[in-house]
Amino acid sequence: MNDLIRQGGLRDLEGILSLEKACFPGEAWPRNVFLEDLARPTSFYLVAEIEPRDFQEPTGEHIKQLIGYIACATDPVHRYGHISSLAVDPDHRSQGIGGRLLDDMLALLEAQGIDCLRAETRLSNRHVQEMFRIRGFLETEQIPRYYQNPTEAAVVMIRWPRESGFSQGQRIPPGRHEGGG
C-alpha cells in the first residue's frame, strides 16, 4: 500500500456513498448495504484518497477526499473472494488509480490466503474486463439481464488458484456461486 491507498472502514461510509452515486447512477447500493458490509470482518475495503491542495478546515485540519474504492467479500473457509465493487471518481479516471486499487486488493487477499476470485462486469464494460484479464481473470460465463438501469448481461470472470488445474472456459465449481452481486 502507499500514501494514496489505505484500508477502508465505517468512517469512509459517506465518501463511498458519494462515489457510488457518481459511478453507478441508477444502480448505486443503498446505505444499509454498505453499513452491514463495512462492519463484516470478512469484507475488505481499500480506498484511494487525496488531500485537496487549497482546502483547509478552520481548525487547520486537512480534509481528504475519497476518489476511489474497491470492495471484496470473502469466504475464508473456502479461500474464496468476490470483488463486489470497484469505482473511481469520474474526474480522476485514467490515471492508474483503478488499477492500483485492484493490484493492492489482490495483494491483500493473497496475504489472507484468498486464492479463488470472482468479479462481474457489464458486458459493454470492455476496458474493465481487460483490467481483470491482464491480472489473470478468465471469462467463464455470461448472465443475461443481470444488471438493471439499463438492463444488460454480466460477464463473470474468475481467477483460479494456480494449483487448481482449472482453465479458461470452465465454470465456477459448485458451492461457490453464493455471494454474487
Ligand X SMILES: CC(C)(COP(=O)(O)OP(=O)(O)OC[C@H]1O[C@@H](n2cnc3c(N)ncnc32)[C@H](O)[C@@H]1OP(=O)(O)O)[C@@H](O)C(=O)NCCC(=O)NCCS
| 97 contributes a contact to ligand X by CB under 6 A | yes
Amino acid at 140: T
Q: Which stretch binds ligand X (CB under 6 A): 49-57, 80-88, 103-111, 146-154?
A: 80-88
Choice from 43, 74, 121, 129 touching ligand X (CB under 6 A): 121
Choice from 86, 106, 108, 116 touching ligand X (CB under 6 A): 86
**Nearest to ligand X of 16, 128 (CB atom):** 128
Per-residue cell: 60: 487547520
Q: Which residue is nearest to ligand X (CB)?
A: 98
Which residues are at the interface with ligand X (CB under 6 A)? 23, 86-88, 93-99, 119, 121, 125, 127-128, 131
